[in-house]
Chains A and B, each alone.
Chain A
Amino acid sequence: MKIEVGSEIEVSFTLNGEARSASFDPRRSLADVLREDCGQTGTHLGCEHGVCGACTVLVDGAPSRSCLMLGAMADGKDITTVEGLATDGVFNHVQQGMWDAMSFQCAFCSPGFLMSTMALLEENPNPSEEEIREELSGNLCRCTGYQSIVDGVMASIENLKQQGGE
């Protein structure tokens, strides 16, 4: 496949469980494609060079920087963003945990933390505080000092356990 400068690439992927296709300039980042071409503005851009983590989404389940991927690289992938977490308007265990713990303030960074926490708990449903801090160290928050976010992950773990027990 070759897409010349000025032409658009046609890309199909699954976004939050729904099949989507879009055409865009192949230089566009996945973040811009999600936000502007797909209208899903829940994913935020904080630094656009891969450090702050606000743009983290799940690509085939793996937490990934959507600013450091081309939209073209999403072709055929399964993408989950913050908009895909709630079911029928009901928060999932991580959203609920973060809400209960009052984890965020401005919450601009929250989509990244939510997605990183989703990935963490998928891989390790019972992490220690040290493991939580380590895993979330790729996400910057300027408001909270992180303690409330760590509390939110702990609350999410409890929610998950309760859901599992039901």
Chain B
Amino acid sequence: MTATEEHVQTSGLGFVGQSVKRVEDEWLLAGQGDFVADRLPEGVAHAAFLRSPFPHATIDSIDTSAAKKLPGVIAVYTGAEVNANTNPFIPLIMLPDMYTPLFMPMTEDKARFVGDPVAIVLAESRYIAEDALELIEVDYTDLEPVATMSQARNPNSPQLWDKADGNVLHDGSKVYGDVDAAFAKADHVFTETFSCHRVTNQPMEARGTVVEIGQDGHLTITSTSQAPHAVKWAVAAMTVTEKAGRNFRKFWRMKERRANFKAARKAFLKEHMPAIRSQDRSGQKHQNKRENPTKHQLKMAMGLLASEDFPTVRAGDIGGGFGSKGSVHREEMALIVASKMANRSAQWIEDRVENLLDGGQAREEEFTMSIAIDDDGTFRGLKCHFDLDYGAYPSFPIGGALTQGMIRVYMPGPYRFPVFEFTSRMMATNKGKQLPYRGPWANETWARERIIDIAAEKLGMDPLELRQKNMYAAEDFPTKMVTGPTLDVTMSCKGTLDRAVEEVRGLDLDAMRADAESRGKKLGVGLASYHEAAPGPPDFLDSVTPGNGMLANEEARAVIERDGSIKMYTSQSPHGQSHATTYAQVVADEFGVAMDDVEIVWGNTDTSRFSFIGTGGSRGGPIGGGVMKYSAREAREQVNELAAEMLEASVEDVTIENGNIHVAGVPARGISYADVAAEAAKRKGSADGPAFEVVRDYRGHGDGGWSVATHVAVVEVDMDTGQVDIPKYLVVEDCGPIINPKIVDGQVRGGVAQGIGMVLYENLVYSDEGNPQATTYMDYLIPTAMEIPEIDIIHLETHSPGENDFRGVGEGGMIGAPAALTSAVSDALGVQATDMYLPPTKILEMAGVIDPD
């Protein structure tokens, strides 16, 4: 059974479905947050990095002697000194035949972008650390910069990475179906090239790390990380300094550990063998021929096996991330190494200029799209050539390879494209690193929706009707996208499209146009649709990166202590998504208790289970929330069983209301969680440990499915100034049942705001010489309350039959907005936009009001 209905604010008796006020605000609004910069342990050293002022240069010599002498300076290390104490970052997710360099926390021989860290200072204050930076003498020899993708494609350009084949790190293709035949048969083929500009995630809190060294040498690392477990393992592996053989012998002597490892390894291989076999390791082979990471891998692996002390990585409150804090960052690793070298606890709090130089950059991509289409508007096929500007260094562990894979798989979108061809290249350039940014594949929606608008215009068809005609509808399911993933009833994009079209038809556009015209403005309407695998069908991630679906796994731990208190441990690393509230809602409903009766615990790798991704990819609701629900539900079942015994009733008759565990209909004779926990503890025999403990995992159970939406933008373009107003913006979305409507609305609106920013204001532009031009907030323009309009949202709610029906909404706003907005501007001007960035100058150029310089 499926039902699509308007979302109702409250869903029955439980907390789920209600806009419960945020638990987090109790400390955040009081100014009592625990952000990384607030962590100032006694005697902490403050770090600052000397960064290359050149986009491309060799480093000939470094003299740190004057800096070391400055009073208040604790230590100064060059890149070479730091790197001598670490292993390189080793590629994890790769594309077939893609060259991904081994790279180090700092650079020592060659600066590859403006901002490349060359030396690190630890000092008594950040002020003194910055003074010391000015005393470090570095001799550089300028190299010709590779600032654009076309320069990167030029075989005569100097190489960023000596062992690569030029600066094109990847050049590949994938064909789904008989594309040539389909294109030959179609009535028309329309082709256009689209360009997207470089932007940056820009959370309001920049990155930061605090390393505390315990008396026993144990490291406690506080990081602004979306994925603390990735930091933990990367630090453990990369800081192994002893030789492999020595650690291996040490491991060999640890008999119990050896046995445990052997058993764990066997179990893992048994479970994941098909996935491991399906992984494409040709990238690795390509790598091995040139850089031989094997010796590093062996060294790290042996170090991990023998290590008796893994770092604790904790995350307190985090001030946003939008993907940029999902990476393990070079500076973070350099700080940890420097802190160990100096044997001083240390803090690096990134400043805004650093963040604009290398805090994370994304979306500088080009698309050449060809659509094969019949006279009646039926889609016959799609081709896409994709180029990505990778920047200088890879992002670890998730970077360009995953972006490419997602763009490939998503590109046909919610439409019936029977065949698809995808070719792609990735170019290394002398710029900050590319990494995932909120819907890392989002440009795919933009490029596809643009070519659909253009096809509609060429055929003289209504672009809304053209979409309705070609979009998968309920009667098509189940089916598969041409690129692989399964589509089921939750891919209800058509429902959002139909509703959005209805809303557009309800507007008196003629009157609105005339009114705008009278004020010297032109009105336009644009619409865009997308579907998002949040959490996606089980075959989604394996379609993107074969064999790596297991990376999406997430576990949670439900604990009922001996006093009956309930603690839920999540591996998520929330940074604005309100997990403490939404998870408490979900779990309280499962346990039949008040929200105050459950404690959501996050942000410590010692107490949470391993999660590779942590918070990202719209996982918090469906996957993190789903596994909360599974583990709570199972713990509740165990409680029910014991309570049934205690109440001398059958399990089916036991019910829990507001913490009162009783036989249905007899609430007066109920017992409490404390009673049941005490009984469980008594029966356990052992003196410590919780009364109940359940660990459950999420392995793409297939519940949840797709999150979908259609966005509508109505714009007014001022023909005098080229400024764009947005008198109406509407999102019709379907993320299934909603845990907390206001929190969902906030996610949607925040995403749309970033999409508006990207199209109209934000541009992380580099000069043709590779110099960054937007290094402060005077030049990188984040929209304010005056630029972002009210955003209307209509929720539809399609149910899937699974155990867990939550779907993600973190990224969608950002995916739909650029497409809807550029479509609306194109409609207003009567000119199809092929660049995503539409500042006033570009608008007036498109309108023919001014000429380019």
Contacts and interface: CB of A to CB of B under 8 A. Distances in A.
A52 interface: yes
B46 to A, nearest CB: 10
Given A46-B352, A143-B746, 4 more contacts: A86-B30, A102-B19, A108-B319, A145-B746
Interface in B701-754: 742-743, 745-747, 749-750, 752-754
A105 B202 contact: no
Interface in B19-62: 19, 21-22, 24-25, 28-33, 35, 37-38, 40
A145 B37 contact: no
B540 interface: no
A103 to B, nearest CB: 8
Nearest to A140: B782
A38 interface: no
Interface string A89-116: 1010001001110101111111100100
B596 to A, nearest CB: 16
B576 A147 contact: no
A106 B30 contact: no
B127 A27 contact: yes
A46 B205 contact: yes
A147 B726 CA distance: 14
Contacts of A166: none
A49 B204 contact: no
22 contacts: A44-B319, A46-B204, A46-B205, A46-B206, A48-B351, A52-B204, A83-B32, A85-B31, A102-B21, A102-B743, A106-B203, A106-B576, A133-B786, A134-B785, A134-B786, A137-B785, A139-B785, A142-B203, A143-B750, A144-B749, A147-B788, A148-B742
A54 B320 CA distance: 13
A107 B19 contact: no
A100 B788 contact: no
A25 interface: yes
Contact of B29 (A44, A51, A107, A143): A107
A107 B777 contact: no
Nearest to A49: B776
A53 to B, nearest CB: 9
Contacts of B202: 142
A145 B753 contact: yes
Nearest to B201: A142
A42 interface: yes
Interface residues of A, number: 58
Nearest to B206: A46
Interface of A: 6, 25, 27-28, 35-36, 40-49, 51-52, 54, 81-83, 85-86, 89, 91, 95, 98-100, 102, 104-111, 114, 132-134, 136-150
B320 A108 contact: yes
B777 A51 contact: yes
A49 to B, nearest CB: 6
Contacts of B31: 40-43, 81-83, 85, 111
Which 4 residue pairs spanning A and B have beta carbons closest together? A42-B31, A108-B319, A106-B576, A82-B31
Contacts of A107: 24-25, 28-29, 33, 317, 319, 576
B777 A47 contact: yes
A139 B747 CA distance: 19
Nearest to B72: A6
Contacts of B21: 99-100, 102
Interface residues of B, number: 54
Contacts of B778: 49, 51
Contacts of A108: 33, 35, 203-205, 317, 319-320
A104 B25 contact: yes
B355 to A, nearest CB: 9
Contacts of A86: 30
Contacts of A54: 204
Nearest to A47: B352
B785 A136 contact: yes
Instruction: Please indicate which of the listed interface residues B351, B575, B743, B750 has the most CB atoms of chain A within 10 Å of its own CB.
Output: B750
Instruction: Please indicate which of the listed interface residues B127, B784, B788 has the most CB atoms of chain A within 10 Å of its own CB.
Output: B784
> Main secondary structure on chain B at its contact with chain A?
loop
Contact of B40 (A36, A142, A148): A36
Nearest to A105: B576
Interface of B: 19, 21-22, 24-25, 28-33, 35, 37-38, 40, 71, 125, 127, 202-206, 317-320, 322, 351-352, 575-578, 742-743, 745-747, 749-750, 752-754, 776-778, 782, 784-786, 788, 790-791
A105 B575 CA distance: 8
A147 B22 CA distance: 17
A95 B22 CA distance: 12
B784 A105 contact: no
B575 A51 contact: no
Contacts of B745: 148
B438 to A, nearest CB: 10
A86 B28 CA distance: 12
B777 A52 contact: yes
A95 B30 contact: yes
B40 A137 contact: no
A33 to B, nearest CB: 12
A128 to B, nearest CB: 13
Nearest to B577: A105
B204 A145 contact: no
Given A41-B35, A44-B205, A140-B204, A105 B578 contact: yes
Contacts of A40: 31
A102 B742 CA distance: 7
Instruction: Please indicate which of the listed interface residues B30, B204, B784 has the most CB atoms of chain A within 10 Å of its own CB.
Output: B204
Instruction: Please indicate which of the listed interface residues B24, B29, B747 has the most CB atoms of chain A within 10 Å of its own CB.
Output: B29
Given A100-B21, A148-B749, A141 B204 contact: yes
A133 B352 CA distance: 24
A100 B577 CA distance: 17
Nearest to B126: A32
Instruction: Please indicate which of the listed interface residues B33, B202, B754, B778 has the most CB atoms of chain A within 10 Å of its own CB.
Output: B33
Contacts of B578: 105
Contacts of A47: 352, 776-777
Contact of A142 (B22, B320, B743, B791): B320
Contact of A145 (B127, B319, B320, B750): B750
A99 B352 contact: no
Nearest to B22: A102
A150 B753 CA distance: 14
Contacts of B754: 142
Contact of B752 (A27, A138, A145): A145
A145 B30 contact: no
Contacts of B24: 107
Contacts of A138: 784
Contacts of B30: 42, 82-83, 85-86, 89, 91, 95
B576 A143 contact: yes
A99 B37 contact: no
A145 B575 contact: no
